[in-house]
Structures are given as structure tokens and as C-alpha cells.
Chains A and B, each alone.
Chain A
Amino acid sequence: MSNTTYLILTMLAMAIATFITRSLPFFALKNQKDHPVLNFIGMYLPPSVMLLLVIYCLKDVKFLISPFGIPEIFSVTLVALLHFWKRNSLLSIGMGTAFYMALIRTDWL
């Protein structure tokens, strides 16, 4: 499989998977939208998934060797605090990313 074919197939898989998740309630669950278990999962699965994704993004951080994951810990804390305080996504993401990029390029840590 050539590189371009692989890329196109990957894009296709992404497009299909995304469309499935977006369209499912419109086509399959129309009549069950008031099911209590589904409503409960609908309410509490997203927060769980979001935290899982944060952890997943940090899975390759090596906490036992220098710099001991300090840039990640500091930057994640900054983003979370900024967002609790100002609730401005662009500000939180922009500042956090800039801070992280600066931290991993310095020699202080």
C-alpha cells in the first residue's frame, strides 16, 4: 500500500467513524431518547471520556527521568486554572501551548 493510499484510506475511516457517531441518534435511537440509562450515560460518559483523553495524550511522558514531566504538569495546571477562571478556550489553549513550547525549549528544567 503506497503512502498516499494509506492516507486516503485513513481519512475515509475517520470520516466514516465520525459520521456514524454524529448520525446514530438521528437514525437509530429516535424512539429511545428518553431511556433513563442512555440519558445517564449521555450525561456522565463525556466528562469521563474527556479526562481519559487528557491522560491518553500524556501517556508517553516519562515521569521518572529528567525533566520528570514537569513541563506537562505545569502546562496542564495552567490550562485548567485559566479555564476555570476565564472560561475562554482560545486563551486557555493558546497560553498553555505557548507556555509548554517555551518550557521544553529552555535549559532550566
Chain B
Amino acid sequence: MAFYSTIPIFFGYIPLGIAYGLLFKNLGYPWIFATLTGVFVFAGSAQFISIGLLANHASLNEVFLTILFLNLRHIFYGFSLIRRYQTTLLKKLYLIFSLTDETYSLLTVNQLSNKDEDQRYCLYVSVLNQTYWVLGCTLGALLGEFIRFNTKGLDFALTALFVVLTVEQAKKVRRVFPFAIALFSTILAILIYKPQMLFVALAISCTLIGISSQWEAKKNV
């Protein structure tokens, strides 16, 4: 059951992992670090964005803040899983550590009625997904080690991933204002401080959405 449900993720993680591994190898670091990043970080979009950060020798503060904001969405994944993840501490820590976009979307679609079985299911799905991801990263980095591959344009996979996630969100929320806020925040961020535009834009977006919640609440009274 766990294996069958992760098959689509297998087909997503292996090619994306390979793309990451190839791009990572292009930075000139040993391949093993691509594997280690998959093992210890296990965050697709964060790993992709780190390629650019590493290439620019970004400061550790910048890396930390960028990844923090990039993965901010994960904060909201946990809410719906608090009750399902009530298990032994070690298992719980691993389940939380491995809660990627894909694992989250799979687990929220499939839930088993038996609590023990469900927890085992969550754990198997998480382990399988991370295995696929680490495998992909390693394959890509090894491939980059042994053959010369022209990766020009491969980094578009990250842009494409975010476009896909944007479309998924649009289908889910069916509202225009979060996207309007994003556009407005970007323009403002470029005007205010372009070198840190992602950080500034995220802060403005978060504030504006907080404000619009008050507005929406008044409208519904």
C-alpha cells in the first residue's frame, strides 16, 4: 500500500534529484555532498535554490533566511498532522524532518482508519520518498562526475517546479488576491532593496495577507 501510493513520487523525485545532482556537480564539489544534502536537508526547492546561493558564495545568514522563508509554507503543513504524528519521539522527529511538499500532499490524501497502521503508513511513505530523493541526487552527481553533460538551461527545472506549485495553489484557493499581493510585493521589494528582494517581498506579502485577514473578517460580520 505504502509503496504503491509513492510510485508517482518516485517518478517525480528521481529525475528532479538527478537534475539537482548534475547542477550540484557543476559547482565543482565532490559528489558525496549531493548525497549528504539529500540525507540531511531533504528539501527539493531549498536544495535547488542553494545551487545559486553556493555559486554566489552567499553568506550563511542569507542562506539561513532564504531557506527559512522558502520553506515557510511547511509551517502550515504541520497543523493538519499534529494528531496523526503522535508517536514515539524518534519516529515523530523523523516524520517531521521528512515532511516535504510531496509527502504532505500524499499523506493528506490517504489516511488509514487504524491508528497504528496509519502511523506505519506515514513512516513508510516518508522513508520511501527520502530514499527516492537521495537516490536521484546521488545518481545525478555521479553522472556529472563521469560524463561531461551540458547542463545549460537545466536550472529551469526549479522555475518549472515553482510554476507547478503556483498552479496547484491557484486550483486549491481559487482567489486572485494572494497572487496580486505577490506581484505588488515584488515591485515594492525591487524598489526598496533589490539585493534582498526575496526576503523583503516575503515580509511584505506576509504582512499584507495578515492585514487582509482582518479585512475579510469585517466583511463577513
The answer to the question of A65 belonging to the interface, with a C-beta cut-off of 8 Å to chain B, is no
Verify B157–A79 contact, CB threshold 8 A.
no
Verify A93–B161 contact, CB threshold 8 A.
yes
Minimum CB distance partner of A37 in chain B:
B213
Verify A18–B156 contact, CB threshold 8 A.
no
Interface flags, B141-171, vs A, CB<8A=1, else 0: 0000000000011101111111111111111
Nearest chain B CB to A58 CB, angstrom units? 7
A-B contact count (CB 8 A): 248
Verify B99–A22 contact, CB threshold 8 A.
yes
Q: Which of B60, B85, B181 contacts A10 (CB 8 A)?
A: B60
Give how many A residues have a beta carbon under 8 Å from the other chain's beta carbons.
66
A76 and B165 CA atoms in complex are apart in Å by: 12
Binding site for B on A (CB under 8 A): 3-4, 6-7, 9-11, 13-26, 29-30, 33, 36-37, 40-59, 72, 75-76, 79-80, 83-84, 87, 89-90, 92-94, 96-97, 100-101, 103-105
Task: Identify which of A23, A33, A51, A93 gathers the most chain B CB atoms within 10 Å of its CB.
Answer: A51
Verify B182–A48 contact, CB threshold 8 A.
yes
A105 and B177 CA atoms in complex are apart in Å by: 37
A64 and B149 CA atoms in complex are apart in Å by: 30
Partner-contacting stretch, out of B107-115, B117-125, B131-139, B201-209: B201-209
Q: Which of A23, A24, A41 contacts B213 (CB 8 A)?
A: A41
Q: Which residues of B contact A3 (CB under 8 A)?
A: 29
Binding site for A on B (CB under 8 A): 8, 11-12, 15-16, 19, 29, 33, 36-37, 40-43, 45-47, 50, 53-54, 57-58, 60, 63-65, 67-79, 82, 85, 92, 96-97, 99, 152-154, 156-173, 175, 177-179, 181-183, 185-186, 197-198, 201-202, 205-206, 209-210, 212-214, 216-217
Verify B12–A89 contact, CB threshold 8 A.
yes
Verify B60–A9 contact, CB threshold 8 A.
yes
Verify A54–B41 contact, CB threshold 8 A.
no
Q: Which of B36, B158, B159, B178 contacts A44 (CB 8 A)?
A: B178
Verify A25–B82 contact, CB threshold 8 A.
yes
A72 and B154 CA atoms in complex are apart in Å by: 12
A100 and B179 CA atoms in complex are apart in Å by: 24
